[in-house]
């Protein structure tokens, strides 16, 4: 009897895996009607969406970061809001505020743009720390307090923040503790020459620019997340994730003494949790109900790059956190 129930549960999970994979493939295809050459970025955004983690996007202007996020929102039938951060903003510009009605002698609540399913925080490092903190608190707590009332944020709730790595004048870099709130940091690169020609052909042509249609409901995202939680993770895979994170904290103990003077501090426990969560999503979208070390290794750079702070010595040698993470991945034994 127990064997029959176990077999039935396995069959049900396999069916869910197939269904989730098909739905997310449909999203990719729909976004592909609008975007050119951003398949890798889109895939990583969908992983974060499935793993229920916020995203920090870093790239120079003009790489379609905003278009990618807004098009993704169109395909998901979710509410989308964009916040353009500026130095003169106040926390209420993000979360909302209370407005006094003198005629009725009472306050009413005006909700801010953070009350959306997909929230694009454009150039988050241009806003002062108190404004950044208001958004990041909402990201962590999944709720906003206005006056004496507390409002829960509707699920799915995903913040995708962007920042420009070149222009640093007049900006307020995110502190490490707040960077840790983002599950992943994605670097957006330039298109290939062929893709850039395709963009020119599409945008300069006489025809109408394609529009994405909704192919996935918000409720389906929540169902897909439930399926991701059921993906099996072997203890060896968990240990591998922890070993990678531990190597960022004490590289010498992991046989990487040459990195000891290059790392200011390493990743927190949250990094280990996010590695496993994202690996489960990666396995699910690959059509599997179990994770492998390859899943962890694939998502590790995105999870760790903003959690490893480099020393001045590393900067002098031209070594970035990406270089350090790559060295760790090459050294730590894969089970």
CATH number for the domain harbouring residue 305: 1.10.8.80
**What pLDDT sits at residue 201?**
82
Q: Give the domain CATH number at 136.
A: 3.40.50.300
Give me the percent of the chain exceeding a pLDDT of 70: 94
Domain boundary residue, one of 165, 199, 219: 219
- Residues 205, 316, single domain; the answer is no
pLDDT per position as a tens digit, 16-25: 888 899 999 9
Residue bearing the bigger pLDDT, 221 or 61: 221
- Residues 245, 171, single domain; the answer is no
Q: Are 42 and 72 in contact (CB under 8 A)?
A: yes
- Residues 36, 162, single domain; the answer is yes
- Residues 177, 261, single domain; the answer is no
* List of E strands, 102-220: 106-111, 118-122, 143-146, 149-152, 158-163, 184-187
Q: Which of 163-167, 245-249, 257-261 has the lowest mean pLDDT?
A: 163-167
pLDDT class of 2 with cuts at 50, 70, 90: very low
pLDDT class of 1 with cuts at 50, 70, 90: very low
Q: Closest Cα to residue 269, out of 299, 244, 301?
A: 244
Residue bearing the bigger pLDDT, 270 or 66: 270
What is the arithmetic mean of pLDDT over 222-243? 95
Whether residue 9 is predicted with pLDDT greater than 80 in this model: the reply is no
- Residues 126, 263, single domain; the answer is no
The residue count for the chain: 335
Domain that holds residue 157: 13-219
- Residues 136, 215, single domain; the answer is yes
- Residues 20, 65, single domain; the answer is yes
How many structural domains compose the chain? Answer: 2
**What pLDDT sits at residue 172?**
85
What is the arithmetic mean of pLDDT over 34-49? 90
**What pLDDT sits at residue 7?**
55
- Residues 134, 262, single domain; the answer is no
* In-domain check, residue 92: yes
pLDDT class of 293 with cuts at 50, 70, 90: very high
Q: Are 294 and 283 in contact (CB under 8 A)?
A: no
Mean pLDDT of the chain: 88
Whether residue 296 is predicted with pLDDT greater than 90 in this model: the reply is yes
Give the C-alpha separation, 255 to 38, whole Å. Answer: 37
* In-domain check, residue 5: no
* In-domain check, residue 226: no
Q: Closest Cα to residue 223, out of 27, 17, 79, 48?
A: 17
Which letter, b or e, does each residue of 141-180 get, where b requires 16 or more Cβ atoms within 10 Å of its Cβ? eeebebeeeebebeebbbbbbbbbeeeeeebbebeeebeb
Whether residue 266 is predicted with pLDDT greater than 70 in this model: the reply is yes
pLDDT per position as a tens digit, 127-178: 999 999 889 888 989 999 887 788 899 999 999 999 888 766 668 888 888 8
- Residues 240, 271, single domain; the answer is yes
* List of E strands, 104-220: 106-111, 118-122, 143-146, 149-152, 158-163, 184-187
pLDDT per position as a tens digit, 146-160: 877 888 999 999 999
Q: Are 48 and 159 in contact (CB under 8 A)?
A: no
Give the C-alpha separation, 73 to 5, whole Å. Answer: 38
pLDDT per position as a tens digit, 190-208: 888 998 898 888 777 656 6
Give the C-alpha separation, 49 to 222, whole Å. Answer: 10
* In-domain check, residue 19: yes
**What pLDDT sits at residue 5?**
45
- Residues 180, 296, single domain; the answer is no
Domain boundary residue, one of 219, 250, 274: 219
Residue 310's SS3 state is strand
- Residues 196, 250, single domain; the answer is no
* In-domain check, residue 50: yes
Domain boundary residue, one of 185, 219, 253: 219
Half-sphere exposure of 4 (CA within 13 A, CB side): 1
Give the C-alpha separation, 231 to 130, whole Å. Answer: 38
* In-domain check, residue 275: yes
pLDDT class of 98 with cuts at 50, 70, 90: confident
Q: What is the pTM of this model?
A: 0.90
* In-domain check, residue 224: no
DSSP symbols for 12-69 = HHHHHHHHHHHHHHHHHHHHHTT-SS-HHHHHHHHHHHHHT--EEEE--TTSSHHHHH
- Residues 178, 248, single domain; the answer is no
Q: Closest Cα to residue 84, out of 109, 53, 52, 61?
A: 61
Half-sphere exposure of 293 (CA within 13 A, CB side): 13
The C-alpha angle with vertex 186 and arms to 185 and 190, in degrees rounded to 5, equals 150
* In-domain check, residue 2: no
């Amino acid at each position: 009897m127990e064997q029959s129930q176990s077999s039935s549960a396995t069959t049900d999970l396999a069916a869910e895996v197939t269904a989730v994979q098909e739905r997310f493939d449909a999203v990719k295809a729909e976004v592909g009607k609008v975007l050119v050459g951003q398949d890798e970025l889109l895939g990583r955004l969908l992983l974060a969406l499935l793993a229920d983690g916020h995203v920090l996007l870093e790239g120079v202007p003009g790489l379609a970061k905003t278009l990618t996020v807004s098009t993704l929102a169109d395909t998901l039938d979710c509410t989308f809001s964009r916040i353009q951060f500026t130095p003169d903003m106040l926390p209420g510009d993000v979360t909302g505020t209370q407005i006094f009605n003198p005629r009725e002698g009472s306050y009413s609540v005006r909700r801010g743009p953070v009350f959306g399913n997909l929230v694009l925080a454009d150039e988050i490092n241009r806003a002062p720390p108190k404004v950044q903190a208001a958004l990041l608190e909402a990201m962590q707590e999944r709720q906003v307090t206005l006056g004496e009332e507390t409002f829960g944020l509707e699920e799915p709730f995903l913040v995708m923040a962007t920042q420009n790595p070149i222009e640093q004048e007049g900006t307020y870099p995110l502190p490490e503790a707040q960077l840790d709130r983002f599950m992943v940091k994605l670097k957006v690169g330039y298109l290939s020459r062929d893709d850039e020609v395709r963009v020119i052909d599409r945008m300069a042509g006489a025809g109408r620019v394609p529009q994405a249609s909704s192919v996935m409901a918000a409720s389906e995202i929540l169902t897909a997340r439930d399926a991701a939680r059921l993906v099996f993770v072997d203890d060896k895979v968990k240990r591998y994730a922890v070993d990678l994170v531990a190597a960022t904290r004490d590289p010498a103990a992991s046989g990487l003494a040459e990195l000891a003077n290059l790392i200011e501090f390493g990743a927190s426990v949250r990094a280990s949790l996010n590695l496993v969560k994202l690996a489960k999503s990666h396995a699910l979208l690959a059509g599997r109900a179990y994770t492998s070390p390859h899943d962890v290794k694939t998502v590790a750079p995105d999870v760790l790059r903003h959690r490893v702070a480099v020393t001045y010595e590393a900067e002098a040698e031209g070594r970035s956190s990406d270089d350090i993470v790559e060295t760790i991945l090459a050294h730590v034994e894969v089970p």
